[in-house]
Amino acid sequence: MEFTAEQIAGILNGEIVGDPTTAVTGLAKIEEGTSGALSFLSNPKYENYIYTTQASICIVNSTFLPSKPLPKTLTLIKVTDAYACFAKLLEVYNNLSKKQAIIEQPNFIDESAKLGSGIYLGAFTYVGKNVEIGENCTIYPNVYLGDNVKIGKNTIIHPSVSIYDSCSIGDNCIIHAGVVIGSDGFGFAPDENGAFQKVPQIGNVVIEDNVEIGSNSTIDRATMGSTIIRKGVKIDNLCQLAHNVEVGENTAIAAQVGIAGSAKIGKRVMIGGQAGISGHLHIADDTKIVAQSGVPSTVKKATTLMGSPSFPIDDFKRSFIGFRRLPQLMNRISELEAKIETLISKKE
Per the CB < 8 A criterion, the answer to whether 203 and 221 are in contact is: yes
Same domain, 39 and 112: no
The reported pLDDT for the residue numbered 348 is: 66
Indicate the range of 44-48, 89-93, 162-166 predicted with least confidence. Answer: 89-93
What's the total number of domains in the chain?
3
Same domain, 338 and 299: no
Which residues are CB-neighbours of 42 under 8 A, at least 6 positions away?
60, 61, 81, 82, 83, 86
Of 158, 243, 280, 282, the active-site residue reads 243
Same domain, 221 and 337: no
Same domain, 342 and 240: no
341: number of Cβ within 10 Å? 10
The reported pLDDT for the residue numbered 271 is: 98
Q: Which residues of 270-284 are buried (b: 16+ CB within 10 A; e: fewer)?
A: bbbbbbbbbeebebb
The reported pLDDT for the residue numbered 345 is: 81
> Could you tell me which residue, 248 or 2, shows the higher pLDDT?
248
Same domain, 126 and 237: yes
Average pLDDT over residues 4-27: 95
The CATH number of the domain holding residue 175 is 2.160.10.10
Same domain, 86 and 129: no
Indicate the range of 4-8, 273-277, 327-331 predicted with least confidence. Answer: 327-331
Same domain, 162 and 53: no
The reported pLDDT for the residue numbered 298 is: 96
49: number of Cβ within 10 Å? 17
227 pairs with which residues across the strands?
A: 205
Same domain, 214 and 117: yes
Same domain, 62 and 133: no
In what side-by-side order are the strands of the sheet with 180-183? 108-109, 126-127, 144-145, 162-163, 180-183, 218-220, 240-241, 258-259, 276-277, 294-295
The residue from 96, 130, 155 where one domain ends is 96
Same domain, 257 and 293: yes
pLDDT digits (tens, 9 = 90+) for 224-268: 999 999 999 999 999 999 999 999 999 999 999 999 999 999 999
In what side-by-side order are the strands of the sheet with 57-61? 15-17, 75-79, 57-61, 37-41, 26-27
CA distance 325 to 316: 14
179: number of Cβ within 10 Å? 23
Which residue segment(s) compose the domain that 267 sits in? 102-314
Indicate the range of 87-91, 121-125, 151-155 predicted with least confidence. Answer: 87-91
Indicate the range of 16-30, 83-97, 160-174, 186-200 predicted with least confidence. Answer: 83-97
The CATH number of the domain holding residue 49 is 3.40.1390.10
- Residue 282 annotated among the catalytic residues of the structure: no
Percent of the chain with pLDDT over 90: 83
The reported pLDDT for the residue numbered 24 is: 95
Same domain, 232 and 281: yes
Q: Burial of 243 by CB count in 10 Å (0-12 exposed, 13-18 middle, 19+ buried)? A: buried
Q: Burial of 264 by CB count in 10 Å (0-12 exposed, 13-18 middle, 19+ buried)? A: middle
pLDDT band at residue 94 using 50, 70 and 90 as cut-offs: confident
Same domain, 189 and 223: yes
CA distance 273 to 263: 18
CA distance 233 to 210: 7
pLDDT at residue 311 is higher than 80: no
